[in-house]
Structure 1
Amino acid sequence: MSNSSTIMRAGLIGSGIQASLTPAMHMAEAHSQGFTYRYDLLDLDLLGAGAERLSELIKQAEAKGFIGLNITHPFKQAVIPLLDTLSEDAATLGAVNTVVLRDGKRHGHNTDWWGFAEAFRRRLLDVELRHVVQLGAGGAGAATVYAILMLGADAVTIFDPDDGRVSKLVAAMEARFPSARIAAGSDLSAAMSDASGLIHSTPTGMANYPGLPLDANLLTARQWVAEIVYFPLETTLLAEARQRGCRVVDGGGMAVFQAVGAFRLFTGHEADASRMMRHFMEMTGTGDLGQNLLGALG
């Protein structure tokens, strides 16, 4: 048996995360590479707490020798004041999903945007990016709008009930992508009538947040739909989009590729993306997403 001092430890902080597949993906990949790696869930819902416990949880993780922490909904922005450094991407996005704990310092990164971009590129590379509508301006929304602009979107209209959050995100993206047209949305129906595609970046559709994020009648067959939710993999939004003839990408690819990036940052080992995807397929009992991505991965 491995000595406890040689066991790499990491964790995921979020609310309502008991269904997360991230721990299993990380630990299975480490096992395949021949080292011991324990990955824990730190669910604030189970602790009956909110963002006020973030600082305490990070300190506890450091005391236990954790090498890193993933951060998920709804703490990707709240965690930033607790960190020592930010990567360029994380600073631009104003959102962190990966915290590397090293040499007494906390280093914030964002692998969400790359995870979304990789999944999108492998499934919908040839789609039109003339005008993208995005729902959500939180931590995940910052990552997806950054990703779609990195992929070459000409214009993005962002909708979120928090006007201040949208304005801040629009300003950050305008500074980073001055040639693109980026705006806060006010009329969803009008925006969707002109949209090439839709990115959904809110929790709606998750097991704990069932339902649709918009009127399904706003979707048309000429549009594509990209989802970030992966549990369930087939959300109500994706089901409605498929019925209407839309090309879609579910949240599974983003979940796998952000884990690939975090695994590299935490452990210093390069993850086998194809192997992680196969494990994801096994855990979710899915085939279409994984087979398409595996084909693209070669």
Structure 2
Amino acid sequence: MLKLGLIGQSIARSRAPSLHIMQGELHNVDVRYDLHEPRDTTPETYAETLHQLRHEGYRGCNVTFPYKQLAVTHATEVNRAVRLVGATNTLRFNGEEVFAANTDYTGFIRGYRGRVGEQPAGRVLLLGAGGVGRAVAFALFELGASEVEIYDIDQSGARSLARSLQEAGYSAKAVTAGELPSAAASADGLVNCTPVGHYMTPGTPLDEKMIGGQRWAFDAVYTPIETEFLVAAHRQGLTIISGFDLFFYQGLDAYEIFTDTKVDPAAVMERFKQRFDIVSDLIK
């Protein structure tokens, strides 16, 4: 049996177990995928949970909010995406070694190209500078972004991410709440990497009056798939990249890291949609 898991908070409705078990079925591998929600968000309880998984013979695990940056400090080896982003969402265990990857980075790139194609990302307004926001921000420049403007309620987080991007040679800056209307109006793409829109924190991260005139929009939230933000963007004719796209491709990339197996995306997508009866105009 291949034992995998997810460490994070508010993960009870995650579909990660289903996605990884399904990939195992397609490759004749018996996969067990468990959800682990530490009792609090301290570094100590994260370390305890990680130790438990390694001690119990897990092959690896995914990591989500709020541990993606903390998890890097427990890795003995990291890939290029983790070095760029400073966060990880995928850990593979091998004895005392912990290899860290960032499939949010690669998964977003695959999701964008699948929906938008090779058209450059252009100017982007990014909402949310946390772990997934960092991964998407760096991935945007892989996709031809000319500038990324970053807003976060925690302005220090937005400034920190902008500084990291600038140090990597990219054009980026933090914006304030008062600057959001002009940033949105001049943007080619809108990106939500905040939790707003999640079933636990409903709503939209951007006033609907600011949505329209851009080319594309992405929402990292995938429960529900049709967030208020994406529905508003779809209504305005923007090309949509859903949180499901990111969830799907980061999960495929993670499974390949865990198993050294090449996955057929079309086969997994077809089975996933059928099993969960997913019908959405946003992920056809």
What are the superposed Cα offsets for residues 93-149 of structure 1, whole Å, 9 maximum, x if unpaired? Answer: 011100111121111110111111111111112556331100011000011111111
- Give the secondary structure class of the aligned counterpart of 2:202: coil
Correspondence for 1:18 among 4, 12, 27: 12
Structure 2-normalised TM-score? Answer: 0.93
Partner of residue 37, structure 1 = 31
Q: CA deviation at 1:171?
A: 2.3
Mapped partners of 2:118, 2:61: distance in 1: 35
- Aligned residues of 2:187 and 2:214 also touching (Cα < 8 A): no
Letter in 2 for 1:99: L
Partner of residue 146, structure 2 = 154
Q: Unmatched 5+ residue regions in structure 2?
A: none
Mapped partners of 1:172, 1:184: distance in 2: 11
2:255 aligned with 1:285: no
- Aligned residues of 1:100 and 1:265 also touching (Cα < 8 A): yes
What are the superposed Cα offsets for residues 216-263 of structure 1, whole Å, 9 maximum, x if unpaired? Answer: 100114432111111100001111112223222211111111011110
Q: 1:161 to 1:290 in 2, by over 3 A?
A: closer
Structure 1-normalised TM-score? Answer: 0.89
Mapped partners of 1:260, 1:289: distance in 2: 20
Letter in 2 for 1:249: I
Partner of residue 106, structure 2 = 114
Mapped partners of 1:114, 1:32: distance in 2: 22
2:189 aligned with 1:197: yes
- Give the secondary structure class of the aligned counterpart of 1:157: strand
Partner of residue 219, structure 1 = 211
Mapped partners of 2:120, 2:140: distance in 1: 11
Percent of paired sites with the same residue: 30
What are the superposed Cα offsets for residues 4-54 of structure 1, whole Å, 9 maximum, x if unpaired? Answer: xxx11010011111111111111111112112111111123xxx4223311
What are the superposed Cα offsets for residues 51-99 of structure 1, whole Å, 9 maximum, x if unpaired? Answer: 3311001111011110101001111112222222221210210111001
Structure 1 segment 11-90 matched on structure 2, within 5 A: 11-44=5-38, 48-51=39-42, 52-90=44-82
2:133 aligned with 1:141: yes
2:173 aligned with 1:183: yes
Instruction: Name whichever of 78-87 and 51-60 sits farther off.
Output: 78-87
- Give the secondary structure class of the aligned counterpart of 1:220: coil
What are the superposed Cα offsets for residues 249-285 of structure 1, whole Å, 9 maximum, x if unpaired? Answer: 2111111110111101111212221122123323251
- Aligned residues of 1:277 and 1:290 also touching (Cα < 8 A): no
- Give the secondary structure class of the aligned counterpart of 2:133: helix
